[in-house]
Amino acid sequence: MSEMVKTKKKSAASKNPTAAAVIYAVAAVLFALPIIEWAGNFAGEVGPNPAWNFLNLPARLFALAGFVLMFYQFILGMRLPLFEKVFPRATNLKRHRTLGKVAFVLILLHAVMMAAFDYSMAGQFLFDTYRVLGLIAVICLLVGVIAAWFFKPLKLPRKVWRTLHLLGYVAFPLGFFHASSLGTEVLTGDWTVSAPFTAFVIIFAVLVLYRLVEYYKELAAARAKTAG
């Protein structure tokens, strides 16, 4: 049993401890920046309105944390050589799934609490353009998460699962446009929120293009091998 535990720990260990430490440090800083901005706003915004204190403020925190974790889980799920040289692929995929679950719960809580806040303040649910984009993002995430969590029980064909899972990639840019138009910390904060979030979306777009190019290269190679 002890040998098995040691083997598991060894398989999950970093291949390059120094590079791993740098990655962890950068990830921690990028995660902390929007939280620090939110904390500063929180100190000045707590007041006599219960809906603001218990719905709006925590919902904003959940959105900030969820967005960063969503970006991290995409990075880990893309099988990038940079990360696979530092951590085993199995470790990256395990963290990808874990962060995806946490990010989804946070984003879902944000959506529910902000909808409740809007209703408490306006007496109705609001459906302007950017709130609708946020709603579509949550639905895409929900479908993708169901496909991921219940892949085996639902006995989904791999092509169907892959298509549904990819909806999460649609949710990320939609979430950014939603946040850039309605998010308090993104709109009123300094560069500590807007700059990292913008960088996340640009990096995300570049990596999606990279994965598409790699996919079509692999497809072409497979067809050439079959034809040969």
On the question of pLDDT at 86 being above 90, the answer is yes
Q: Tell me the H-state helices in the chain.
A: 2-12, 17-45, 50-51, 57-77, 81-84, 89-122, 129-149, 151-154, 158-165, 167-182, 184-188, 191-227
User: How far is 184 from 101, CA to CA, in rounded Å?
Assistant: 25
Structure tokens of 192? 């500590």
Share of the chain above pLDDT 90, in %: 66
User: How far is 171 from 87, CA to CA, in rounded Å?
Assistant: 27
pTM metric for this prediction: 0.89
Distances (CA, A) of 228 to 165, 220, 221, 223: 33, 12, 10, 8
Q: Which domains does the chain have, with CATH numbers?
A: 2-227 (1.20.120.1770)
Average pLDDT value for the chain = 89
Query: pLDDT digits over 13-70, tens only?
Result: 677 899 999 999 999 999 999 999 999 999 899 999 999 999 999 999 999 999 999 9
User: How far is 83 from 68, CA to CA, in rounded Å?
Assistant: 18
On the question of pLDDT at 109 being above 70, the answer is yes
Share of the chain above pLDDT 70, in %: 93
Contact present, 81 and 214 (Cβ < 8 Å): no
Query: pLDDT digits over 162-213, tens only?
Result: 788 788 889 999 999 999 999 999 998 778 999 999 999 999 999 999 988 9
pLDDT score recorded for residue 14 = 74
pLDDT grade for 215, boundaries at 50, 70 and 90: confident
